[in-house]
């Protein structure tokens, strides 16, 4: 059964959008799991009330000694569909708060060496069937001069930045009776972004670069998917800009999935627009 949603977007091409370009970074410090290597996800079947240990290795591939942070965190979806993480273990409220005896988070490692770390998770006695996701996050800071010496283009980095923070997480997914769990995907709205920095391109009647994000929240206990159709209409001219089906990838429980729409190459006339979409 499909549900239909409508959002009215006023795109005036005057709201700046802070964008971060994709940067190809050196290996630097590498986080790996003793059981899953450098895979980004570790999945484990668990029992309520039991404690589980996870062993990790931090390898220093820099040509120097290095300092880093390593800590457990809730996994949070940020605008754009990427993941973000708590800056302090003390701020965790979801599965990130299940880690035990987290004391030191700052460490150092010699050039060419590795350091072993162990994290313990105590599963609550009263959890419901489902998937529970947290992250073990490796965080380091690299100065701009070093990045440039490694071939990273200065123009790819934020203006005025002297250093860049890099996070290399591994997600820990704890599964409990997942066959009994259900997903509950609901639409939480649409967000329009406009970047006027791209004005002046050879489009005489179009200015600005825009994207629209459809947001879907999973309120259930199990990952799930959704799909449907969307249509963007210019309300001033009744012109249908784009009409297309879409399909989401898995959305973990208690997280938000983002479907990004960039129709017409991202360029659009200023005006009033209506976005309609359905979701199963």
pLDDT in tens, 96-137: 999 998 887 899 999 999 999 999 999 999 999 999 999 999
pLDDT of residue 78: 65
What letter would DSSP give residue 213? E
Q: Are 61 and 27 in contact (CB under 8 A)?
A: yes
**pLDDT > 70 in the chain, percent:** 76
Distance CA 148, CA 162 (A): 11
Instruction: Compute the average pLDDT of residues 248-276.
Output: 80
Distance CA 246, CA 56 (A): 38
Instruction: Compute the average pLDDT of residues 237-266.
Output: 84
Which of 81-85, 136-140, 155-159 shows the lowest mean pLDDT across its residues?
155-159
> In sequence order, which residues have a C-beta less than 8 Å from that of residue 65 and are 6 or more positions away?
108, 109, 110, 111
Both ends of the chain: CA-CA distance in Å? 6
Q: Model confidence at 198, in pLDDT bands (50, 70, 90)? A: very low
Chain segment 145-183, per-residue pLDDT in tens: 776 665 555 555 555 567 777 888 999 999 999 999 999
Chain segment 11-64, per-residue pLDDT in tens: 433 333 222 333 445 568 999 999 888 888 999 999 999 999 999 999 999 989
Distance CA 137, CA 135 (A): 6
pLDDT of residue 17: 28
Residue 145 host element (H or E): helix 144-149
196-199 long-range contacts (CB < 8 A, ≥24 apart) are 196/13, 196/14, 196/15, 196/16, 197/16, 198/266, 198/267, 199/13
């Amino acid at each position: 059964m499909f549900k239909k949603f409508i959002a009215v977007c006023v795109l005036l091409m005057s709201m700046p959008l802070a964008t971060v370009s994709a940067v190809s970074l050196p290996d630097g410090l590498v986080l790996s799991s003793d059981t899953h290597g450098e895979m980004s996800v570790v999945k484990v079947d668990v029992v309520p009330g039991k404690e589980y240990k996870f062993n990790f290795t931090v390898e220093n591939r820099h040509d120097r000694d290095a300092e880093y942070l390593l800590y457990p965190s809730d996994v949070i979806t940020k605008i754009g569909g990427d993941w973000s993480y708590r800056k302090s273990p003390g701020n965790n409220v979801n599965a990130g708060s299940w880690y035990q005896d987290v004391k030191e988070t700052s460490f150092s490692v010699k050039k060419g060496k590795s350091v072993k770390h162990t994290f313990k998770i105590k599963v609550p006695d009263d959890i419901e069937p489902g998937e529970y996701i947290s992250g073990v996050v490796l965080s380091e800071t690299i100065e701009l001069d070093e990045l440039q010496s490694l071939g990273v283009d200065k123009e790819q980095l934020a203006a005025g930045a002297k250093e860049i923070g890099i996070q290399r997480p591994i997600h820990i997914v704890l599964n409990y009776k997942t066959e009994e769990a259900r997903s509950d995907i609901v639409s939480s709205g649409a967000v329009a972004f406009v970047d006027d920095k791209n004005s002046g391109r050879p489009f005489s009647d179009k200015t600005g670069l825009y994207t629209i994000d459809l947001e879907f929240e999973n309120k259930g206990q199990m990952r799930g998917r959704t799909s449907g159709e969307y249509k963007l209409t210019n309300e001033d001219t009744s012109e249908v800009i784009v009409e297309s089906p879409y399909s989401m990838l898995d959305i973990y429980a208690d997280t938000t999935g983002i479907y990004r729409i960039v129709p017409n190459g991202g360029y659009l006339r200023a005006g009033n627009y209506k976005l309609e979409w359905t979701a199963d």
